[in-house]
Structure 1
């Protein structure tokens, strides 16, 4: 049975993600303690694990308070441990570990930062991507380069189409506006934006199938001609899209 998934809005536009099942509760990323603790209390859940995707403050700053309040074990990338809060369990890309009693795969999604990881739970068809693959977009390249991010997105894009993509921010308005500017004839994109604007659906989670159909950063093959890059390597098309988004 799939784990129960609860998005928790934090700060201005962050998402934290609570998982519950098998008698355990886990959190992916810790932007702000108060809304997370309130959600736990409302549901009568005790927090057992905190899994961290990357070192940026808006994803880890609530860890000390949450650990003090709950005693939860902290999990993160061993290769970025020096920039994360103290880890009780250090994991590496390619490894698997138990999250809420379910097998989770650690995926290297460096680009936004070097050492950024995603957590894929195949049994529940979920992937926690934070600031790598995002709803209708992808994260800015603060530490890595375009080739690194394209490789990361390609790894995520190889997951099953029904996988829920649980990203780190609600950037749907800005991402959607950019997507429409480079892919104006995309009917699926227009429908998704209309549903989001009407409040008929949240920004996240989305399915990987939806991202393949509407996210320009997964549609480089379809957009190459209109960008003047017909025949160029996909990584080159991605780099051009990312540069355009940075200027948008």
Structure 2
């Protein structure tokens, strides 16, 4: 399976997955144009659209693509996603034949109440729940919900490629360095990101194993993150530590 991030809008990524036979899936198409261009350039046939949550920068192009290609649209149970043809929910196993791909559907409330991710076929299609070196803002959910969602993600196979919805890695990394300034894996990751961005290349996907080593929102039980939380008055329990990290990131400027 080939995994291709398509830049869209200001800083979004639409994810294009395709096999060697020309069959493709598109994930979170915030606009249709980049998808149509990629399908044409690679001589691909669109077979399905997967959506993670209702925000327009993730679904804005789905209607046009569905109409043009007459494909199913898989989405969470949320009336705000009216374009859906198939609803999927936590625990569902989604099997697509063209291309051959299998995904486990997981409910991950936090960024939005109905957010889902798709895990399988070597990838984690995580929308705005997990970013490289960061996580999504809590627009609808609670810190406890988002912490639980991230813990579920952290328990997945660590060789999955994290395919997130935005190019936020460098900015997330600047915050992560203030939390864990002595994290060697984080420094190595940021050096890699700087080289990629200097070449105008995407910083994602990254492996889940890399995120477990570098992303403070997945590391709330590590001693260095606990030390940071202690200095910020929130060291006693994991959800409080997560909430302190998220609140600090919300106002972080660098």
TM-score, normalising length from structure 2?
0.91
Question: Residues of 2 paired with 1:85 and 1:215: CA distance?
Answer: 34
- Structure 1 partner of 2:71: 72
Matched, 1:18 2:16: yes
Q: Which residue of 1 aligns with 2:135?
A: 138
- Whole-Å separation in 1 of the counterparts to 2:176 and 2:82: 35
Identify unmatched segments of 5+ residues in structure 1: none
Aligned match for 1:187, one of 184, 188, 191: 184
For these two proteins, the number of residue pairs brought into alignment is 242
Q: Which residue does the alignment assign to 1:246? A: 250
What aligned pairs does 1:45-56 form with structure 2 within 5 A after superposition?
45-56=44-55
Question: Whole-Å Cα distance in 1 between the matches of residues 148 and 245 of structure 2?
Answer: 15
Alpha-carbon distance between aligned partners in 2 of 1:230 and 1:111, rounded to the nearest angstrom: 20
SS in 2 for 1:237: helix
1:151 is the counterpart of 2:148:
yes
1:110, CA displacement in angstroms?
0.9
Contact 2:108 2:146 in 1 (8 A): yes
Distance in 2 separating the partners of 1:230 and 1:237: 5
1:233 aligns with 2:233: no
Q: Secondary structure at the match of 2:141?
A: coil
Structure 1 residues 97-116: aligned runs within 5 Å: 97-99=94-96, 100-116=99-115
- Map 1:192-203 → 2, pairs under 5 A: 192-199=189-196, 202-203=202-203
CA deviation digits over 1:151-171, x for unaligned, max 9?
000010001111111100000
Q: Which moved more, 1:3-12 or 1:53-62?
A: 3-12
Q: Are the counterparts in 2 of residues 60 and 85 from structure 1 also a CA contact under 8 Å?
A: no
1:22 is displaced (CA, Å) by: 7.6
Instruction: Tell me how far apart the structure 2 counterparts of residues 188 and 176 of structure 1 sit (CA, whole Å).
Output: 11
Tell me: CA distance 1:230–1:88, structure 2 relative to 1, closer, same or farther (3 Å): closer
Give the conservation status (yes or no) of the 8 Å contact 1:63–1:85.
no
Q: 1:86 aligns with which of 79, 83, 87?
A: 83
Give the unaligned 5+ runs of structure 2: none
